[in-house]
């Protein structure tokens, strides 16, 4: 079978290679993949930003959709040819957190495509418990575009961020896959949504999608701008994946008692925090990573129930995966970059 692989770190080592067909274990399912979606995770993996040890050739890709082609001897209830979305989170299933249904707290939590072979391939053998039914209104490409970003966004907003109907939300860095997932999932629930970006074009697109306010953080202080737009009140919830120097502005945008959920550090991991503001305003700073099986199921039910369609920026063929990865790296996209397999 063909797969998008690296045999060393760096873009020059990305190639579509012919690999042996996957062998399913008794609890695994062989999925004939139809689409995959790119994430920054793929860039970190191929550029060795994570310091992990990989067996080369390593197959890239955390997000994929396809159809069930074969099942292991112990797998029940998954008809052949059913359309599935693969949750790329790998957890042990046995530790206290897994048994409590909090798989992303698992002591050995790992991701397909990052710690083990990924899904940018014609076939993959994955644990049956990682499969979820693909919502009927979505194509394989749209389903793949849900993947990691919608799972992460659902947990950030609802499980960790405890978003309530009518609350005001600030989403930083609109345009990337995660920020748009946050926007699409928050939109039916939030009272107002504010967005930030360094690109006026991306802010304009977000306003067209229904944002209530937009701040260009290159020109304006985010905290001041949000307070000015909310009669000095501030927002209830900030969902952020930038951190770094922008964290201070995000905290200043919160109302007293507000929450900030972080799930990334694209602007830098060390971030300073004014502790007086934290305790005096009774703020909460909350971390979030991927999602539990319950988060995935709840996200898919919401997506199916109100027929959310993830925003796809562009679709490439498997053979053009390198060009797709370079476009992700360039960072000018609005929505997900997807591979048709």
Q: Which residue has the tokens 């020109």?
A: 219
Minimum separation from the CB atom of position 107 to Zn ion (A): 6
Give the residue with the Cβ less far from Zn ion, 98 or 156.
98
Q: How far is 182 from 176, CA to CA, in rounded Å?
A: 10
Binding of residue 91 to Zn ion (CB under 5 A): yes
Tell the burial category of 78 from Cβ atoms under 10 Å away from its Cβ (0-12, 13-18, 19+).
Answer: middle
Q: How far is 108 from 87, CA to CA, in rounded Å?
A: 16
Q: Which x/- pattern over 264-293 shows residues binding Zn ion (rule: CB under 5 A)?
A: ------------------------------
Of 58-66, 93-101, 114-122, 203-211, the window that binds Zn ion (rule: CB under 5 A) is 93-101
Minimum separation from the CB atom of position 93 to Zn ion (A): 6
Minimum separation from the CB atom of position 99 to Zn ion (A): 8
Minimum separation from the CB atom of position 89 to Zn ion (A): 11
Q: How far is 26 from 315, CA to CA, in rounded Å?
A: 34
Q: Which residues contact 3 (CB under 8 A, 6 or more apart)?
A: 16, 17, 19, 57, 59, 120, 121, 122
Residue 317, CA distances (Å) to 18, 60, 65, 313, 339 in order: 16, 15, 15, 14, 5
Minimum separation from the CB atom of position 132 to Zn ion (A): 19
Q: Which two tokens stand for residue 186?
A: 């928050």
Peptide bond into 57 cis (omega under 30): yes
Minimum separation from the CB atom of position 42 to Zn ion (A): 24
Q: How far is 183 from 1, CA to CA, in rounded Å?
A: 37
Minimum separation from the CB atom of position 96 to Zn ion (A): 8
Q: How far is 275 from 251, CA to CA, in rounded Å?
A: 11
Binding of residue 95 to Zn ion (CB under 5 A): yes
Minimum separation from the CB atom of position 91 to Zn ion (A): 5
Tell the burial category of 207 from Cβ atoms under 10 Å away from its Cβ (0-12, 13-18, 19+).
Answer: middle
Count of positions on this chain that bind Zn ion (CB under 5 A)? 5
Binding of residue 106 to Zn ion (CB under 5 A): yes
**Coil vs helix vs strand at 130:** helix
Of 106-114, 141-149, 198-206, 310-318, the window that binds Zn ion (rule: CB under 5 A) is 106-114
Of 17-25, 35-43, 105-113, 317-325, the window that binds Zn ion (rule: CB under 5 A) is 105-113
Minimum separation from the CB atom of position 295 to Zn ion (A): 15
Q: How far is 150 from 83, CA to CA, in rounded Å?
A: 18
Q: How far is 246 from 169, CA to CA, in rounded Å?
A: 16
Binding of residue 144 to Zn ion (CB under 5 A): no
Of 101-109, 127-135, 175-183, 260-268, the window that binds Zn ion (rule: CB under 5 A) is 101-109
| Residue among 70, 78, 92, 285 that touches Zn ion (CB under 5 A) | 92
Binding of residue 152 to Zn ion (CB under 5 A): no
What's the residue count for the chain?
A: 341
Of 50-58, 100-108, 314-322, 331-339, the window that binds Zn ion (rule: CB under 5 A) is 100-108
Give the residue with the Cβ less far from Zn ion, 92 or 286.
92
Give the residue with the Cβ less far from Zn ion, 149 or 159.
159
Q: How far is 77 from 247, CA to CA, in rounded Å?
A: 46
Binding of residue 130 to Zn ion (CB under 5 A): no
Binding of residue 98 to Zn ion (CB under 5 A): yes
What is the enclosing helix (H) or strand (E) of 147? helix 140-154
Q: Would you tell me which residues interact with Zn ion (CB under 5 A)?
A: 91-92, 95, 98, 106
């Amino acid at each position: 079978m063909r797969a998008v692989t690296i045999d060393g770190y760096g873009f020059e080592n990305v190639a579509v290679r012919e690999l042996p067909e996957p062998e399913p274990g008794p609890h695994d399912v062989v999925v004939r993949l139809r689409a995959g979606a790119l994430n920054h995770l793929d860039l970190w993996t191929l550029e060795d930003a994570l310091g992990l040890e990989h067996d080369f050739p390593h197959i890239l890709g955390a997000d994929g959709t396809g159809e069930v082609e074969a099942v292991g001897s112990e797998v029940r209830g998954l008809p052949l040819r059913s359309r599935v979305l693969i949750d790329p989170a790998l957890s042990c299933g046995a530790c206290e957190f897994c048994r409590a249904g909090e798989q992303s707290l698992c002591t050995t939590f790992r991701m397909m495509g990052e710690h083990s072979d990924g899904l940018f391939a014609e076939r993959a053998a994955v644990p049956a418990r990682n499969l979820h039914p693909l919502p009927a209104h979505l194509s394989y490409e749209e389903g793949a575009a849900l993947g990691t970003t919608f799972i992460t966004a659902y947990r950030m907003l609802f499980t960790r961020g405890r978003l309530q109907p009518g609350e005001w939300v600030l989403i930083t860095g609109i345009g990337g896959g995660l920020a748009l997932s946050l926007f699409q999932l928050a939109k039916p629930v939030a009272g107002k949504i504010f967005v930030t970006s360094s690109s006026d074009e991306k802010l304009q697109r977000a306003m067209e999608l229904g944002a209530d306010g937009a701040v260009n953080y290159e020109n304006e202080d985010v905290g001041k701008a949000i307070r000015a737009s909310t009669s000095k009140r501030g927002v209830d919830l900030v969902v952020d994946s930038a951190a770094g120097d922008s964290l201070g502005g995000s905290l200043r945008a919160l109302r007293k008692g507000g929450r900030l959920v972080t799930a990334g550090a694209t602007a830098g991991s060390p971030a300073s925090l004014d502790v007086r503001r934290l305790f005096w305003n009774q703020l909460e700073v909350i971390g979030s990573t991927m999602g539990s099986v319950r988060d995935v199921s709840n996200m898919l039910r919401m997506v199916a129930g109100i027929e959310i369609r993830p925003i796809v920026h562009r679709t490439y063929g498997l053979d053009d995966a390198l060009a797709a990865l370079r476009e992700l790296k360039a960072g000018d996209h609005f929505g997900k970059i997807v591979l048709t397999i």
